[in-house]
Structure 1
Amino acid sequence: MRRLLLATAAMALGLAPHMSARAQGTPPETVVTATRIPTPAERVPAAVTVITRQDIEQRGYRTLAEAMRSVPGVRLVQAGGPGQQASAFLRGSASRQVLVLLDGVPLNDPSEPNGAFNFGNELLGDIERIEVVRGPASSLYGSGAIGGVVNMISRRAPAGTRLQLFGEAGLGTQRSAEGTLGIAGTDPRWNYLLMGQGASTRGFDATAPRFLSNTGERDSFRGAVGTARLGFRPDANTQGEALLRFRETRTNLDNIPRDDPNNEITDRLLYGQARAETTLLDGAWTSGLRASFTGAKRRNLNLPDGTTRTTTDDMFRGDRQGYEWANQLRLGGFGPAQDVNLLFGVIHEIESTDSRSGTLPFQVVTDATARSTAFNLSAQARLLDRFDITAGLRQDEAADYDGFTSWRLGGVLALPEFSSRVILSAGTAFKAPSLYQRFGTIGRSFRGNPDLKPEDSFSWEAGLESDIALFGRGDFATAGATWFQTRFNNLINFNAAFSSLENVDEAEAQGAEFHLTLRPAGWLELYGAWTITQTEDRSTGLALPRRPRNVITANARIAVDRVVVVPEVLFTGPSPEGAFAAYRDNGTAFVTQTYNKSGTILNLTASLQATPAIAVFAEGRNLTNSRFEPANGFVTPGRSLLVGTRFVF
């Protein structure tokens, strides 16, 4: 693999004798999540993928899970369609080791037993962009950011527009319907946004048809999101805003290897934040305060039927409060150093859960609260007009588990002579034990371990990206390659008696990410990404479950006049499945690790800008009707089509 990386690097350097398109004046894209300072993407010492509002619409992404499938380094595993459990594995990390944010506020549910996030629930009608940072990010965001961070940035009122009405409506196969309606505006002091979104579908049967017990029962989905934002700027140096968001989804679930006709889960999330910031010292110091909360509530209801004679009524409730003081000092230049910035701050969080699932005598109960306080310091500077360096340090202190000191150091060396840049970074990250892992009980047979240590990691990465000028086009291509490696320590697993949990496991992941963008003409852009990941459970020598060795994404953007067509191909190689998590056709479980077969999905979206304010679109999903199993026993949703219109007045 190292040879492949070196070959790619040599090719990129050899084909880039001219100045890049960005160097010739194209404004670089600015990202926030990787450093918490708005920074041009080419100066960020981390692998970052940005999915814009335009990408969301032109590619037809309806849920966060759909958008994540296109990100290099990510393997998205969903047990069915919208609303079904969807887990993201970044660079070989576990799904619980991926932190998800909304406008910088954590969304991971404290009531989830492992602290993992369900990517299948989040609709994207009120999301302006998604920034995915791969690699350790605990020095900025604390617990959970081992594999990376996914930050959804919500829509805002357009600048300079007092009143804007926008929306979308669509109908499709499987009795699908979706709609969005919003109003927004800005004046010199106030800005506001109010919008709602709804979606429903009859869905598909998520249970693999190969099972002899399969009944073909479909899994329906209904979801709704409401968002309100209000901002106020009393003067040129001070601003404040408040955001409130409510999301609810209802989904029919399937069990494997046998369908269950009336198993339903309702998932609600209430989110809010209020923040204010002011600029001092002639703009050199920006200081801000933020208070936030999330309230998650899930109910899994399964009434007696022909499949089961018992009633399941599981309730999960998780709340998080956050209070943050954040500061940025713009120090200007010192000798060879320019654009020197210093960040520092304090954040206090309170997590709680009150959850009960299962039935006596094996009822699972978690009723606990935890508090933590973190102090962070980071610096960013540009040296000799070509070397950007970023350093971060954060100390997390908690009352009921060992704290953790995380750090990250990275640099980007610009090579304008070759239209290239080289990236090097390393850092540590951690995942605090969840409330269930520390305090949960299962009847009298299991007790959580309050003495658990955080899971932790050390990671490094090295990469090269080059702009290639060919055939008279300065922006003909952009090619990049990144090599990464992570060592996971103190992983939490059951003890030998299955009576509690311990820090007993270690694992390792390494691999490479390659991407290539071609722009042979102004109306055509081609993109491809190939991720190679090799993982190992160091206690067994086996590959980690659900991490395939190869994942390939390819798409194109064809824009002719007012028509935009975007085909997308997603290939997932064979992936290992854990023992007792894989089933034969007759429903019996494998007792050793087995592999899920590879699969390919083809999507196609087309849109026509009928007038300056109105567009029509058609979105086709899984056009070849592939039925491969991302997770053993659960198949990919079948072929579907959605048509509709989008407007902005």
Structure 2
Amino acid sequence: MTPVFFLLLMFNVRGVVLDPTARPVEGAEVVCGAGTVSTDARGRFEFPAADQCEATITKPGFAAKSASLTAASENSIVLALAPTSDRVVVTATGAPVAIEEAGVAADVFTARDFEARQFPFVQDVLRDVAGLSVVQTGRNGGVTSVFVRGGNSDAALVLLDGVPLTEPGGSLDFVHLTSGGLDRMEVVRGPESALFGAEASSGVIQLFTRHGDPESSTPHGSISYERGSFSTDHWMASLDGGLAGRIDYAFNAGQFRTTGEFPNDVYRITSGTANLGFHFSDSTRLRAVYRTFDSYAGTPGQVSYGLTDYVAHANDRDSALSLRFDDARGSRFAQRVTLGYHRYRDLFTDPNNGAVYDIAALIRTVPGPHPRVYLVRLVDPSTTAADPGTTLDKESVALFPGSGLSITDRTNAAYQGTLTHHGGGLVFGYEYERQAGVISERDVARHDNGVFLHEQFALTPRIFLTGGARVEQSSTFGTKFAPRGAVTFRLPKETFFRVSAARGIKEPALIENFARESFFAGNPSLRPEKTNSFEAGVFREWFGRRMRTDLAFFRNSFQDLIVFDFSSFPGTWQNIDRSWARGAEATGTVRLARHVALRGAYTKLYTRITRTNSFGQAGLELLRRPRNSGSVTLELTPRRWTVVAGGRFVGERQDNDFVFGVNRNPGYQYVFVSGTWQASRHVAPFVRIENALDEQYQEVLGYSALSRNATGGIRVTW
């Protein structure tokens, strides 16, 4: 070999491009001087006959990065996820991947989306997601449930930076999920038990907290305050930055408070988030996240029916902690160790004196195999005659005193490895979890062990395979197998066609396993509920990627659903019910002009109960899942303004008021408008109007929604 050849080898600029979890990024474009190369499957690149240059590294879904490259050493470059990226998802496969290649239906909301909408709670953003039905018992502070693709409200797993926020068994009151301190939210529709185990039977919602920049030695922060209708006020403060190039930090705290529209309608929640990271090197990091809230809510009950409870209230406290260690061993292998803890305490107190209410209503019944019963209007209890076509129903309703305390906690430890290979990546791991609580004044606990394997592989540049499975072993229900598989075809003109099949499982709640009371007892032999799901979808980009559309068609079969069985004494829970849900989802975004964007979503959902122990319920639609629902959002960003206007509609649905026998809830429309004016670099006043058309409706029969209300405030940043 000639001396010239050795000289050229000495002056080659080479390196590797990694994602935030230290995994290699394939296909990243590296521009170094006049040369341009793309990274290979191991994330590596090389510029021959170069000694140094100022480079720019780009990859769709990641923030562009500039770096000084030299031939003197190996160059390691870590790309951050783009702040506005809404097509890269982590939750679906365990590693960052474009949604259209993952074979899933998913939505991503960024910090900018939360800021533009100004909603203080996550549930308000979830209402714009196709396939989700969000239901709240009344106003701020009312119990809030989310149904994903017709599944029960406890069938979707909610995670905070990988740590479950749901109680053992899957239940979660979404009302307390505040948007402060969040950087990103991913919503995956469809069973994900193949990755996450026995609570992701209908979908996964994962929240990612904001973290600081270790290179930012100057702290950045913000503080905001708003006040509005019904004596509502809301303050929030945040601070983030870095130290010595190795430490990043982000803190957020806030409080929302309102007296509400009705007696005993007060709601207060104080929440806080801390995110701390230590960077041993570009490939090794340690991160700790803590999030907590404390809330108080009056629970006035079915005020629409005049059944106002003036003294009942609930106190909730919640804490979640995670410790995560990320380490990359070379350019092809990365590993993560996670420790997590979540504790939830719910205390309900109702010291009322057993008040009795005499109420009356006119009812209209549509006959049929399953009669539809509608509320026409409430009337004075002294009324003696009904209007034509209606019947008069009089009831005496007693509100009884009572109280209840629920304490649950989850402790988990997990290991995940990611092996990158040509054309894809293999994710594998193990998870252990201990679930505990106080049930029937006893300390109870159960244990879960899960082993999972997931492969993402590009068979050709136009065929993507996704598949995996998890074996879940529980101390209560034994061993279960949950697979998932998908294939995606990339067709001409940026069109992606996908088909998938999956099985989801959901374990029982602790009370269903361990209760010991005089009139009911837990059943330790319960099997997990099971969901079999099939899906087909088409994603396409139009007009030079200015427009995106996604259509999905699905069918879910729900088996071994757990219900209470009164046939024996004491009563207990059994795997009895079966049902199904099938439907279509359509979502779309379009950039109409430089400062004008439009987003829409629509869901058509059919549901049916096929087997149940409840008399007369077989053949009915599932409770509180509307057949038709949708939303549209228009965003205007001219100069210093950000204006977001949106509308939602929810169609008629099956319900139960448990008073007059009413089982149909009419549809409703909801309109909101928010606006922000960037008065200066550091000051931005804002305003928000909710239920702008002052629609009178009930998401749950008997519980009035909030009427038109407005809030306004100011945000200061530095």
Short-chain TM bin: 0.7 to 0.9
Please give the secondary structure, in 1, of the residue aligned with 2:592. strand
Q: In structure 2, what is the equivalent of residue 208 of structure 1?
A: none
Residue 237 of structure 2, aligned match among 181, 188, 195: 181
Residue correspondence of structure 1 range 249-328 to structure 2 within 5 A = 249-256=295-302, 257=305, 258-280=307-329, 282-305=330-353, 307=355, 311-328=401-418
Task: State the AA in 2 paired with 1:182.
Answer: S
Q: How many angstroms does 1:27 deviate by?
A: 7.4
Residue correspondence of structure 1 range 69-84 to structure 2 within 5 A = 69-84=127-142
Instruction: Verify the 8 A CA contact 1:157 1:186 in the aligned structure 2.
Output: yes
1:409-448 CA-partner distances (Å, limit 9, x unpaired): 1122222x222111211110100111111111332x2111
* Structure 1: distance between partners of 2:483 and 2:230: 49
Residue 349 of structure 1, aligned match among 417, 426, 433: 433
Q: In structure 2, what is the equivalent of residue 59 of structure 1?
A: 117
* Structure 2: distance between partners of 1:366 and 1:644: 48
Is 2:144 aligned against 1:86? yes
Worse-superposed segment, 315-324 or 32-41: 32-41
Q: In structure 1, what is the equivalent of residue 660 of structure 2?
A: 589
* Structure 2: distance between partners of 1:269 and 1:510: 35
Task: State the AA in 1 paired with 2:606.
Answer: Q
Q: In structure 2, what is the equivalent of residue 359 of structure 1?
A: none
Q: In structure 2, what is the equivalent of residue 553 of structure 1?
A: 631
Question: Relative to 1, partners in 2 of residues 1:476 and 1:283: Cα closer, same or farther, differing over 3 Å?
Answer: closer
Residue 148 of structure 1, aligned match among 178, 196, 203: 203
Q: In structure 2, what is the equivalent of residue 467 of structure 1?
A: 541
Is 2:158 aligned against 1:68? no
Task: State the AA in 1 paired with 2:511.
Answer: Y
Q: In structure 1, what is the equivalent of residue 505 of structure 2?
A: 430
Structure 1 portions without partners, runs of 5+? 1-21, 206-216, 357-364
Instruction: Verify the 8 A CA contact 1:506 1:538 in the aligned structure 2.
Output: yes
Task: State the AA in 2 paired with 1:450.
Answer: P
* Structure 2: distance between partners of 1:406 and 1:582: 37
Is 2:597 aligned against 1:525? yes
Worse-superposed segment, 26-35 or 535-544: 26-35
Q: In structure 1, what is the equivalent of residue 549 of structure 2?
A: 479
* Structure 2: distance between partners of 1:483 and 1:27: 25
Structure having the higher Rg: 2
Q: In structure 2, what is the equivalent of residue 372 of structure 1?
A: 448
* Structure 2: distance between partners of 1:455 and 1:195: 38
Q: How many angstroms does 1:647 deviate by?
A: 3.0
Q: In structure 1, what is the equivalent of residue 221 of structure 2?
A: 165
Instruction: Verify the 8 A CA contact 2:267 2:296 in the aligned structure 1.
Output: yes
Instruction: Verify the 8 A CA contact 1:366 1:436 in the aligned structure 2.
Output: no
Task: State the AA in 1 paired with 2:279.
Answer: R
* Structure 1: distance between partners of 2:446 and 2:91: 26
Q: In structure 1, what is the equivalent of residue 705 of structure 2?
A: 636
Please give the secondary structure, in 2, of the residue aligned with 1:140. helix
Instruction: Verify the 8 A CA contact 2:157 2:170 in the aligned structure 1.
Output: no
Please give the secondary structure, in 1, of the residue aligned with 2:195. helix
* Structure 2: distance between partners of 1:263 and 1:67: 29
Instruction: Verify the 8 A CA contact 1:367 1:439 in the aligned structure 2.
Output: no
Q: In structure 1, what is the equivalent of residue 16 of structure 2?
A: none
Q: How many angstroms does 1:80 deviate by?
A: 1.6
* Structure 2: distance between partners of 1:355 and 1:120: 24
Task: State the AA in 1 paired with 2:172.
Answer: F
Instruction: Verify the 8 A CA contact 1:320 1:352 in the aligned structure 2.
Output: yes
Residue 106 of structure 1, aligned match among 161, 164, 177: 164
1:300-357 CA-partner distances (Å, limit 9, x unpaired): 11223473796533111001000111111112x2xxxx1x21111111000011145x
Q: How many angstroms does 1:496 deviate by?
A: 4.4
Instruction: Verify the 8 A CA contact 1:366 1:435 in the aligned structure 2.
Output: no
Task: State the AA in 2 paired with 1:382.
Answer: A
Please give the secondary structure, in 2, of the residue aligned with 1:66. helix
Please give the secondary structure, in 2, of the residue aligned with 1:564. strand
Is 2:484 aligned against 1:408? yes
Please give the secondary structure, in 2, of the residue aligned with 1:248. strand
**TM-score normalised by length of structure 1:** 0.87
Count residues in correspondence.
Answer: 583
Q: How many angstroms does 1:117 deviate by?
A: 1.0
Is 2:257 aligned against 1:200? yes
* Structure 2: distance between partners of 1:506 and 1:408: 21
Task: State the AA in 2 paired with 1:567.
Answer: A
Structure 2 portions without partners, runs of 5+? 1-59, 65-83, 356-397, 612-617
* Structure 1: distance between partners of 2:607 and 2:87: 33
* Structure 2: distance between partners of 1:367 and 1:64: 32
* Structure 1: distance between partners of 2:645 and 2:553: 28
* Structure 2: distance between partners of 1:388 and 1:224: 45
* Structure 1: distance between partners of 2:86 and 2:415: 30
* Structure 1: distance between partners of 2:147 and 2:510: 22
Is 2:395 aligned against 1:395? no
Which of the pair has the greater relative contact order for Cα pairs under 8 Å at 6+ separation? 1
Please give the secondary structure, in 2, of the residue aligned with 1:447. coil
Task: State the AA in 1 paired with 2:572.
Answer: S
Please give the secondary structure, in 1, of the residue aligned with 2:482. strand
> How big is the alpha-carbon RMSD for the aligned residues of Structure 1 and Structure 2?
1.9
Task: State the AA in 2 paired with 1:384.
Answer: T
Q: In structure 1, what is the equivalent of residue 686 of structure 2?
A: 617
Q: In structure 2, what is the equivalent of residue 212 of structure 1?
A: none
Instruction: Verify the 8 A CA contact 1:28 1:42 in the aligned structure 2.
Output: no
Q: In structure 2, what is the equivalent of residue 4 of structure 1?
A: none
Residue 646 of structure 2, aligned match among 552, 568, 578: 568
